[in-house]
Structure 1
């Protein structure tokens, strides 16, 4: 799946490292069998073995696969993402044996993992790559990875304890992650800013790609389909404020004049343009919220409570530190901005 926040946080982390005086590049393990999802043979095999020993996890895994396959991949959107990555990233691909040998040489001073949900606590496959297991221990740095959940299941505690304990330079991006790591390993992880906040809005402006938009609009960016109540209140707000609605992500069947609803095809550059020109941003996306803050936009961060996991800590960590917790809503009330 093409995700704006995932791509832009990688860019931001690479750019921040460059500004410290280092060359940076994105290192990948080769052998992926899919263009749009991480399907490496070793990952598939180990996931199947884990399912055999934990059959109760089978149904949730099947649901996740069905959900992934149901996503329609827009070819134009895919091209926009690929063009952005090609223009702004230096990438290298290594096979599993080669990457270990390369990491032991002087080619790279440090390896940094972060800052998306690469340490998801409920995954069936804690990916050694995401914990930098291929690199010598002294070269491992974790900058703002997320565990993505508010608990660690028993089936992952042993391996996550080992993997996290073996990262000497440790930080996370939310308070909940710090608590979980403390309980699991006894270590105090530093809570740091998401990489996207290490760059200013002026920095991001240089990457914007213009796209046709209405003059006055509410940008709605949802990663999960919102409830009917949320949809109703979005329409109510847009109507009271006299604005069009621009939609990114999973938001449809809005009871609003169709000529005032827009569904642009956007890559990361277009996403930045849409955020920076919006009159209001309403989103359940963590990075959608962060870019609204960075561009000093009026926004509502809507609770992403559409799955079985509580994922609110990452939003609330940022909002509490910026004294903006009133912008976090379980429901949109339709009140004035």
Structure 2
């Protein structure tokens, strides 16, 4: 019997990593022949932008093109039924699935669940009866969060109902295994389940004629731009950056406004070079076989460090701009691709076995 699968994950925020990982897991499952969709639970934004009138209206109008592109990107992936609150999901869920999966991103981190740093039971599949649905976790992450004594009993109760558990960080797996007393598999982020050719199918072209170094940052923008500027000046390229502002950041030549996830993919795939301090930026640079620098992110470097160590590219993670001169301009991806293929196969084996057994 063909399994019908529902995925709960953080997909409604205007965040490239969230949208792309949600798309990736669902698309991978469909490629494998499953009837799969993302359960369309619209969570409260983690850090909503609150502006006084009339700035609130201006912000919504300005941001509408980006909002529209995000919704278009995931339109064919999400369920037709929408749950606009936790109460709707907890009290009204009766999805026609055999399997429900808590997907990736930091769904188990209370600071990311849209509940003012409280546990959100939706992302622990508490809305789904264990008697009706098989529960699986694929790369569900706690981030750097450490559960306190009051939270552990709830987390344990919910996760004990899972048939298979996995996360995407070693530290998270170790923490969970400590109080669950069972194995938690470490797997790849879903964006790495799809290869470069499969991602190209989701691109949307951006009109850009110049050769460019792409900046993709999470916080600490000035540092990443400085790295990109040094690379661009060496080769005679432009520095390009996705932004939501009219005025380009100092040091940036090409200010590309209001991109959605499909435009993100195109810009990564067609860049001459990537400078990023984001895990997902690093992951897409590796997946697209782009020459890149991953700038060490001060507050959460572990995921990029782990990925690059696993594929043999640790030297591309820098904390000193002067170390650029020590790097080769061209990366030989032969061995990294071989290692990534092995990691991908291991993660695929876990996921398909979890669904079928």
Structure-2-length-normalised TM-score: 0.74
Gaps of 5+ in 1: 40-63
1:323 aligns with 2:312: yes
Out of 227, 232, 235, the position equivalent to 1:238 is 232
Between the aligned partners of 1:329 and 1:263, the Cα distance in structure 2 is 26
**1:183-222 alignment runs, 5 A limit:** 183-222=178-217
Give 2:18's aligned residue: 6
Between the aligned partners of 1:169 and 1:232, the Cα distance in structure 2 is 44
Structure-1-length-normalised TM-score: 0.78
1:230 CA drift (Å) = 4.4
Give 1:134's aligned residue: 127
1:184 CA drift (Å) = 3.1
Give 1:77's aligned residue: 66
**1:89-128 alignment runs, 5 A limit:** 89-94=78-83, 95-96=88-89, 98-100=91-93, 102-103=94-95, 107-120=96-109, 122=111, 124-128=117-121
* Residues 331 and 321 of structure 1, relative CA distance in 2, 3 Å threshold: same
Of 138-147 and 232-241, more deviation after overlay is shown by 232-241
1:273 CA drift (Å) = 0.5
Aligned residues: 295
Give 1:286's aligned residue: 279
Secondary structure of the residue that 2:257 maps to in structure 1?
Answer: coil
1:38 aligns with 2:44: yes
Between the aligned partners of 1:328 and 1:209, the Cα distance in structure 2 is 29
* Residues 302 and 121 of structure 1, relative CA distance in 2, 3 Å threshold: farther
Of 121-130 and 247-256, more deviation after overlay is shown by 247-256
1:293 CA drift (Å) = 1.0
Secondary structure of the residue that 2:75 maps to in structure 1?
Answer: helix
For the Cα contact (< 8 Å) 1:77–1:267, is it kept in 2? Answer: yes
Give 1:248's aligned residue: 242
Gaps of 5+ in 2: 1-12, 330-357
Between the aligned partners of 1:236 and 1:19, the Cα distance in structure 2 is 41
1:238 CA drift (Å) = 2.0
Secondary structure of the residue that 1:147 maps to in structure 2?
Answer: coil
Q: Identify the structure with bigger relative contact order (alpha carbons < 8 Å, sequence gap 6+).
A: 1
Between the aligned partners of 1:222 and 1:229, the Cα distance in structure 2 is 9
Out of 114, 138, 150, the position equivalent to 1:143 is 138
CA RMSD for the aligned pairs? Answer: 2.7
For the Cα contact (< 8 Å) 2:211–2:238, is it kept in 1? Answer: yes
Out of 165, 168, 174, the position equivalent to 1:179 is 174
Give 2:162's aligned residue: 167
* Residues 219 and 324 of structure 1, relative CA distance in 2, 3 Å threshold: same
Between the aligned partners of 1:249 and 1:174, the Cα distance in structure 2 is 29
Secondary structure of the residue that 2:239 maps to in structure 1?
Answer: strand
For the Cα contact (< 8 Å) 1:283–1:300, is it kept in 2? Answer: yes
For the Cα contact (< 8 Å) 2:21–2:189, is it kept in 1? Answer: yes
1:217 CA drift (Å) = 0.5
